[in-house]
């Protein structure tokens, strides 16, 4: 019975994903599944395929092989318009990708109007609601150039949330931020996780991982080398490569689990 319930709860299933660029195999068969409300954190050395994996999930990059299922519906090789799935998987990038010539409010409402076909007033209300959710409603009329990196990132989170996604994908959302701005973005993400949002997060902010991740996946050279609860992965990693990588993180960020925790 437990197994059945668990399977029913699975919102996203990634099966045997492969991706090569030229002769270089960047993803070598990645599989995992995510249940509703779970937060999974991906860590691992640079160039190991973490961004490629997230991009394959929402089909910004088309995998060579393997399948992705959202709510039991296949995303890969689907006859549906890819925008259907993209709306259901909100993506947040390291560099925000806001439109510079649009206010924060317009950045959030534009997809509601153009993609979802919402009426202007309804889109505005919804966009304001999402800006409030990330603590940015009082900056609605500001342009990206008038925002700090942390504020801009919160607007880009609001923009993704506005589409009412089933899953949020974050690719190193705080890596481009000055240290003093990281906390405000992580707080928003923690609130989302605690509020039941399903999230996949590439980050080396281990304080965040320890406080909200159900599972940490250590990626290396295109595979998930090992995964487990934060406690298990950080305290008792199985592989020497994982231990080495965690040691590097400790050197960079201090004692793991205590950063921005």
Enumerate binding residues for ligand ADP (CB under 6 A).
21, 26, 46-52
Task: State the binding partner of 26 from ligand ADP, Mg ion, none, CB within 5 to 8 A by kind.
Answer: ligand ADP
- In the complex with ligand ADP, the residue whose CB is nearer, 48 or 151, is 48
Question: CB 183 → ligand ADP: shortest distance, Å?
Answer: 23
Residues lying near Mg ion in the complex (CB under 5 A) are found at 50-51
- In the complex with Mg ion, the residue whose CB is nearer, 51 or 153, is 51
Total length of the chain: 261
- In the complex with Mg ion, the residue whose CB is nearer, 90 or 123, is 90
Question: CB 48 → Mg ion: shortest distance, Å?
Answer: 8
Task: State the binding partner of 192 from ligand ADP, Mg ion, none, CB within 5 to 8 A by kind.
Answer: none
Question: CB 47 → ligand ADP: shortest distance, Å?
Answer: 4
- In the complex with ligand ADP, the residue whose CB is nearer, 43 or 105, is 43
Question: CB 36 → Mg ion: shortest distance, Å?
Answer: 26
């Amino acid at each position: 019975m437990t197994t059945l319930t668990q399977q029913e709860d699975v919102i996203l299933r990634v099966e045997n994903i492969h991706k090569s660029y030229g002769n270089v195999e960047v993803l070598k068969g990645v599989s995992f599944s995510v249940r509703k409300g779970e937060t999974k954190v991906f860590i691992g050395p640079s160039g190991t395929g973490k961004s490629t994996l997230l991009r394959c999930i929402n089909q910004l990059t088309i995998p060579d092989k393997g399948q992705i299922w959202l709510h039991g519906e296949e995303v890969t090789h689907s006859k549906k318009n890819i925008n259907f799935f993209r709306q259901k998987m909100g993506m947040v990038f390291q560099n925000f990708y806001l439109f510079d010539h649009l206010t924060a409010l317009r950045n959030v409402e534009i997809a509601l109007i153009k993609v979802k076909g919402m009426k202007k007033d309804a889109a505005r209300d919804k966009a304001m609601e999402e800006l409030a959710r990330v603590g940015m409603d009082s900056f609605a009329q500001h342009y990206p150039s008038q925002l700090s990196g942390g504020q801009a990132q919160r607007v880009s989170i609001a923009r993704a949330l506005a589409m009412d996604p089933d899953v949020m994908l974050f690719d190193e959302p705080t890596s481009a931020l000055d240290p003093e701005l990281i906390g405000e973005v992580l707080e928003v993400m923690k609130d989302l996780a605690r509020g039941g949002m399903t999230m996949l997060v590439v980050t080396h902010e281990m304080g965040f991982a320890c406080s909200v991740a159900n599972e940490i996946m250590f990626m290396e050279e295109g595979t998930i080398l090992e995964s487990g609860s934060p406690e298990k992965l950080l305290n008792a990693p199985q592989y020497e490569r994982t231990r080495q990588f965690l040691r590097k993180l400790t050197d960079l960020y201090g004692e793991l689990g205590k950063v921005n925790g």
